[in-house]
Structure 1
Amino acid sequence: MEFLIAAVSTPVNFDAATATDAYIATMDAAARARSDAYFEGGYWLIPVNLIAGLAMAGLLLQTGFSKGLRDRVQGLVRSKSLTVALYAAIYTIVTTLILFPLTLWQGYFREHAYGLSTMSLGGWLNEQAIGLVTGVIMAAIFLTIFYLVLGLARRAWWIWGAGVSVILLAVAIFISPVYIDPLFNEYQPMEEGELRDDILALADANGIPADNVYVFDVSRQSNRITANVNGLFGTTRIALSDTLIDNTDPDEVLAVMGHEMGHYALNHLWEMFIIFAVVLAIGFAFTDRLFAFVNGRFGKSWGVSGISDIAGLPLLAACLSVYFFIATPVFNTVIRTNEAEADIFGLNAAREPDGFATAALRLASYRKIDPGRWEEFIFFDHPSGRARIAMSMQWKAGQLALGAQDQTPELRLDRARAISDALVEGPETRQE
């Protein structure tokens, strides 16, 4: 370790690769093994969730449940839209219950096994109930509109369906900060002080229309650090978790907030709307073909007349899930590219390369820090910890070469070691 520190002790000899290795080397082998095990376990959950979803769809169709539900709902209401809405609500409840054992293991027991959750079982179940209620309402609204478009557009439904889906997504993002997020967390104005002033100054310098900063209580759910600049059309809000404030230093907070502001300033949300529309159009076209193929062979026994029949929703969802599974590396690459752009924006905005580097180390509690090239391409929707630290050190090297007065060659290896020690000991959990 001593030779690594010595190698980066002067501006003239500052080497980004050596500095990156110095930061990575502070991570204890035990902490790294636990982080790798958690993240790599997520690789297997992708096909497991796909298989579970396909099995559930087969169960609902093969047993005649979907057909029977449609027929019963049609007997209660005459309106086709009400039929879809009621079917969607019941379908959401039933599928949630079927998959609940897997959800419980993934969302509660697995998170506790790796020391990432702070919730009691009762608290977790309460949030699941809230999520189910909101999910039922949103599914009923979305699917009613979606099936209306599907019936009207007929063969071109996959194009119109993608457009309508993006519009509904925009509406959800618009209302989320005001009506949905507060259901799960309490948002309070950040206490006045130097850090709050620095965040607002950073926002003002980068065109973020916000005059306040909000703190939300992630600590009641998890010990992860997070932040966001969220909202549309006047609902834009700067928010950061209490875990970010309580467990990191000010330069790390500013580095993280610079990244989040980058998403807003670079118009990533609008960019993702366009990409999402294209992705969905392709996915719906794929689903249209696959649905026709499968339903042509089994539709008569399932009682599904075609893709516009609400009884075929399990098959439609299954086809779409196959598409998203196949295209996982593509989606991850699109998101990862945006995240990398926000990273470099944040470095230029906040000018805290070491804060960014140690923040990346903190994320290593649940993200593998140094994956292989193909591993990162397939499974990572954010740049890896090594990639982020390397970017921050390359930025720092460039600034030192330019003679930037606000940058020094010293590394925060003391803080990096403290982060590693905390990961080895395991985060304390707080029960509600």
Structure 2
Amino acid sequence: MRKLIGWAAIAFLAYTVFMCVYLFYLSDTSIPAQLKGSSVDPATFMTPRELLLSEEFSQIKNLLFFIAIPYKWLILILILCFGFSRKFSTWAAAISSKSFIQTAIYVFWFSFLTFILFFPLDFLGYEVSKRYRITTQTFQDWMKDQMTTFWLNYGLMLVIVFVVYILIRKFEKRWWLYAWLLSIPFTIFLTFIRPVIIDPLYNDFYPLKNKELETKILALAKEANIPAEHVYEVNMSEKTNSLNAYVTGIGSNSRIVLWDTTLNKLKEDEILFIMGHEMGHYVMKHIYFGVGGYLLLSLIGLYITRHLVVWIFRRGKDTLRIKDFTDISSLPLLLLVFSILSFAASPLTNAVSRFQEHKADEYAIEMIGNKQAAVSSFQKLTKAGLSQVNPPKLVKIFRYSHPTILERIDFIEKYEDGG
């Protein structure tokens, strides 16, 4: 156990040092010489101070992103090796003989401990965003969102864990397949209810006040065959200075949503371009491809997880303090393996997402036909979020679900010349 904890801690520290050196000293975020002075060059639309702040903020946020993932793995290893998982399982069994009650007790203590251990990193991320004036949210409101997320995740996790361990106990070899089959309607259901049940837990949604703009957006939606009767705005200015808009949901629950920060900081033609982009996702059914891709990867991930967990359990059950693979105390091991596999798959999922975002940009250009509005909207998005125009390669591969701003503006500028 001591060896495992020691090597895990050493690996985490070595990785953290490497990422610090890479992000702050080795990565090149400069603009290619041939693009200097063009609309891609942030020096043409950002002040020297904004350039400095965007570089600092991006470096820190990227570092926090890359640290957070292995830190989560380290937490799961420590929960296993120090016997917390086994202790939670023992407490739950002593309180009730009913499986659901035991699961509810275990999941609560496990969720609470991971929340506490991860809180310093979450709080640091909040403080960094607050310092650079990206986040406008008060600490009290931020904590309210944190607690909402905690209880929402607890409820979802309780249902999932309860069902998965029933399957593990009844179908030791094929539980992963049955779990995946049940995840299909569950995933579709969550996608369907998110716009009307989950999202309003965090923000207030109301019909767009600018009726003239709403009429123009709905005209675009009609042209794109999107079944929307209203455009919604959301009061994100209470939380952030960043800009965003989206089309979410499926079927009758589809919603067109604009952040009020977007309404306040972008011109009408820029907003229409952004909406054209979001409508492109709907028209090209990217949400369905996204759900399908997630289900396919989760099938592969669950299959590999099952075999890896059994292999690890047979060789290290005493070190990891796991009673039995069918006991809920093995949950951190399941989550650890699945999380590592998800991270390993992120370059692929991000690449697919970047392709879809590129196609949505192309759709918006064809639909709106306003090249200058497209360029200026991306420039303003960059300024508002203090984003890097040309991020380091590892950041793009593992973090970027959208093309870089450099790629997006450069594509738009060349589009009339043949794309």
Partner of 2:19: none
Say whether 1:123 aligns with 2:118: no
Partner of 1:58: 77
Q: Report the Cα distance in structure 2 between the residues aligned to 1:91 and 1:378, rounded to whole angstroms.
A: 28
The structure 2 residue matched to 1:185, chosen from 200, 203, 215, is 203
Q: Report the Cα distance in structure 1 between the residues aligned to 2:122 and 2:327, rounded to whole angstroms.
A: 28
Q: Which residue identity lines up with residue 184 of structure 1 in the other structure? A: Y
1:11-410 superposed matches below 5 A: 20-21=39-40, 25-106=44-125, 108-364=126-382, 365-371=385-391, 376-398=396-418
Q: 1:192 to 1:45 in 2, by over 3 A?
A: closer
Q: Report the Cα distance in structure 1 between the residues aligned to 2:41 and 2:158, rounded to whole angstroms.
A: 53
Secondary structure, in 3 states, of the residue corresponding to 2:273? helix
Q: Which residue identity lines up with residue 216 of structure 1 in the other structure? A: V
Secondary structure, in 3 states, of the residue corresponding to 2:133? coil
Give the CA deviation at 1:379.
3.6
Is contact 1:146–1:164 with CA below 8 Å preserved after alignment? no
Deviation string 1:128-186 (CA, Å, 9 cap, x unpaired) is: 11221212112112222233334444323333333433432222221211111111111
Partner of 2:10: none
Q: Which residue identity lines up with residue 101 of structure 1 in the other structure? A: P
Q: Report the Cα distance in structure 1 between the residues aligned to 2:90 and 2:393, rounded to whole angstroms.
A: 51
Q: 1:297 to 1:46 in 2, by over 3 A?
A: farther
Q: 1:255 to 1:56 in 2, by over 3 A?
A: same
Q: Report the Cα distance in structure 2 between the residues aligned to 1:321 and 1:64, rounded to whole angstroms.
A: 20
Deviation string 1:289-336 (CA, Å, 9 cap, x unpaired) is: 332333223213544245432111111111122222323322211211
Q: Report the Cα distance in structure 2 between the residues aligned to 1:22 and 1:264, rounded to whole angstroms.
A: 31
Length-normalised TM-score, structure 1 = 0.82
Secondary structure, in 3 states, of the residue corresponding to 1:319? helix
Is contact 2:37–2:44 with CA below 8 Å preserved after alignment? no
Cα root mean square deviation, aligned: 2.5
Is contact 1:229–1:239 with CA below 8 Å preserved after alignment? yes
Deviation string 1:35-68 (CA, Å, 9 cap, x unpaired) is: 2332333333344112321221122212222112
Q: Report the Cα distance in structure 1 between the residues aligned to 2:197 and 2:417, rounded to whole angstroms.
A: 44
Per mean C-alpha deviation after superposition, the further-off stretch among 205-214 and 128-137 is: 128-137
Give the CA deviation at 1:88.
1.9
Deviation string 1:251-279 (CA, Å, 9 cap, x unpaired) is: 11111111111111111111111111121
Q: 1:293 to 1:263 in 2, by over 3 A?
A: same
Is contact 2:228–2:256 with CA below 8 Å preserved after alignment? yes
Give ranges in structure 1 of 5+ residues lacking alignment: 1-15, 400-432
Secondary structure, in 3 states, of the residue corresponding to 2:206? strand
Give ranges in structure 2 of 5+ residues lacking alignment: 1-34
Q: Report the Cα distance in structure 1 between the residues aligned to 2:43 and 2:406, rounded to whole angstroms.
A: 7
Q: Which residue identity lines up with residue 221 of structure 1 in the other structure? A: K
Secondary structure, in 3 states, of the residue corresponding to 1:300? coil
Is contact 1:86–1:140 with CA below 8 Å preserved after alignment? no
Q: 1:144 to 1:200 in 2, by over 3 A?
A: same
Give the CA deviation at 1:342.
1.4
Is contact 1:369–1:386 with CA below 8 Å preserved after alignment? yes
Secondary structure, in 3 states, of the residue corresponding to 1:304? coil
Q: 1:40 to 1:330 in 2, by over 3 A?
A: farther
Q: State how many pairs are aligned.
A: 384
Is contact 2:164–2:175 with CA below 8 Å preserved after alignment? no
Per mean C-alpha deviation after superposition, the further-off stretch among 192-201 and 320-329 is: 320-329
Length-normalised TM-score, structure 2 = 0.84
Secondary structure, in 3 states, of the residue corresponding to 2:317? helix
Q: Which residue identity lines up with residue 176 of structure 1 in the other structure? A: R
Q: Which residue identity lines up with residue 385 of structure 1 in the other structure? A: I
Give the CA deviation at 1:29.
4.1
Matched-pair identity in %: 25
